[in-house]
Amino acid sequence: MATLDLKHLLKIFGSEVRAVDGIDLNIRHGELISLLGPSGCGKTTTLRLVAGFIDPDGGAIEVEGEVISSPGAIVPPERRNMSMIFQSYAVWPHKTVYQNVAYGLKFRDVTIQESDQKVRKMLDIVQMGHLGERYPGELSGGQQQRVALARALVVEPSILLLDEPLSNLDANLREEMRFEIRRLHDEFHITSIYVTHDQSEAMVTSDRICLMNHGKIEQVGTAMEIYDNPETRFVAEFVGVTNSIEGSSPSPGLFDTGGDLKFKVGSNGAAGAEGKHFVSIRPHRIGIHPEGAPIDGAEGQNILVGEVTRGYFLGNSADYLVKVPGLEEPLRVEGDPSRFFPAGTKVRLAIEPDSVIPVRASEG
């Protein structure tokens, strides 16, 4: 276990591609943090900088307060006592499952008996105890990933790095392995960085999520914080589905979309509406009601009138696109499926001020 600090970390590819653009991140003892973002956002580069496979062009990486990477001076990967799980599993095809798992121990100060004990125990933990003599070619993708997990954990690393470990698995296995990774983390509490582009993977596995875009960190927080209180438009749109509405804030508690529409904004938003150019409204936070019907607690809510242009019945919910005069884009609304509004229905929409979240425009 260890703390990990990234300080103004910078990596430039070629002459001007700022793959990692001066990020600061603090990872606590035994924390699993995920780097989430679209491809090309710099998350894998960050991970490889932490592993020591590439040198930073600026800033530093510190473990327990000691610098392990800075421009011109880095501790090589083999001296960092880290483990890594790779996207391709990277299970060595010429070694058996047992030999794969035992490999890292030969560089550590353990006797043969201890090593054997550790390997067998770890194979049991990942439910591969009976397959030790197999070669990777004879295993399924999920089993290979379990071997990779065992191989990374058996050396008791101070930091575990996971590079999109599940992206090569099929959908069902991916879901199962998500929980498996979280279970193993709860068992070993190793400080971990988990790189992924899949938001639900990040939400299930990690203690905190670090959202990255264009080499910069957009927001760091728990799944709930990120989802409920996004700070930027990018975060709001990348995690879950949302309606982003452009405008400006003439006074606290109010957001002006430029047309006839003004939104009342709640007080629990991240930092009020001033200086924000967008609001984010989640589809399931919008109440949808038939025209003319009374709405409970209508006062204090934002009430809009509109017309359903598309309605989809999905069984556990109903999705709508609602055209609201004064808004350029139709609003996405998620409603109770027990009461379905077909296209063309005139409706009223009710939105709590607390559900209208002012967000910054993203940089870049």
Partner 1 sequence: MAQQTDSFASPLAARFISARRKFDASTVVWGTIAAILLILIVKPVYHLAKQSFLLPEEDGGGWTLLNYFTAFTEPEHYYPIFSTLYISFSVGILSLILGAIIAWCISRTDVPFPNLLRNSVLMSFVTPPFLGAIAWIFLAGPRQGWINIIYRAITGAGPDDYLVDIFTVGGMVFAMTLYTFPLVFIVVLAGLNNVSSDIEDAANIAGGGTFSTMINVTLPLVMPALVAGLILGTLEAMILFGIPAVLGLPAGNHVMTTQLRAFMSSDEDMIGIAAAYSLPMLMTAFWLVYMRRHVLGRRGYATLGGKGGQRRPQRLGPWRYPVFILCSIPVLCAIVLPYFMLTTTSFLKTIGHGLSLSNLTFDNYIFIFNNDAVRISFYNTIMLALMAATAATLIAAVTSYITQRNLVRGHKYMSFLATAPIGIPGIVLAVGLFSAYTQEPFLLYGTIWIMFIAYVTKYLPLAFQTSNASLMSIHPELEECSRILGASRLQVFKDVTIPLFKAGLLASWILVFMPSLRELSASILLYTSETKVVSVMIITFYEEALLGAISAIGVILLAITSIAVLIGYKVVGRDFMRSE
Interface residue list for partner 1 (CB under 8 A): 1-2, 51-53, 55, 63-64, 66-68, 70-84, 86-88, 90, 92-94, 103-104, 106-109, 151-152, 155-156, 158, 161
- The burial class, CB within 10 Å (0-12 / 13-18 / 19+), for 109 is exposed
Residue 56 C-beta: closest distance to partner 1, Å: 10
Cα R_g (the chain), whole angstroms: 25
Residue 16 C-beta: closest distance to partner 1, Å: 16
Residue 344 — left, alpha, or beta (φ > 0 → left; ψ -120 to 50 → alpha)? Answer: left
Residue 172 C-beta: closest distance to partner 1, Å: 22
Assigned token pair, 184: 């193993």
Residue 5 C-beta: closest distance to partner 1, Å: 12
DSSP, res 236? H
Beta bridge partners of 212: 217
Residue 208 C-beta: closest distance to partner 1, Å: 23
Helices then strands, counting H and E runs in the chain, come out as 8, 21
Q: Residue 14 or residue 292: which is nearer to partner 1 going by CB?
A: 14
The candidate with the shortest Cα–Cα distance to 311, out of 334, 290, 291, 284, is 334
Q: Residue 63 or residue 347: which is nearer to partner 1 going by CB?
A: 63
* DSSP codes, 238-286: HSS--EEEE-B-SSTTEEE-SSS-EEE--SSSSS-STT--EEEE-GGGE
Residue 138 C-beta: closest distance to partner 1, Å: 17
Residue length, the chain? 364
Q: Residue 106 or residue 121: which is nearer to partner 1 going by CB?
A: 106
Q: Residue 55 or residue 336: which is nearer to partner 1 going by CB?
A: 55
Residue type, 72: G
Q: Residue 52 or residue 353: which is nearer to partner 1 going by CB?
A: 52
Q: What are phi and psi of 207, to 5 degrees?
A: -75, -45
* Cα–Cα distance, 335 to 343 (Å, whole number): 14
Residue 204 C-beta: closest distance to partner 1, Å: 24
Angle at 27 between CA 43 and CA 61, to 5 degrees: 70
Q: Residue 90 or residue 298: which is nearer to partner 1 going by CB?
A: 90
Q: Residue 107 or residue 313: which is nearer to partner 1 going by CB?
A: 107
The position carrying tokens 């598309």 is 310
274 contact partners, CB below 8 Å, separation of at least 6 = 249, 252
Residue 64 C-beta: closest distance to partner 1, Å: 7
Q: Residue 66 or residue 187: which is nearer to partner 1 going by CB?
A: 66
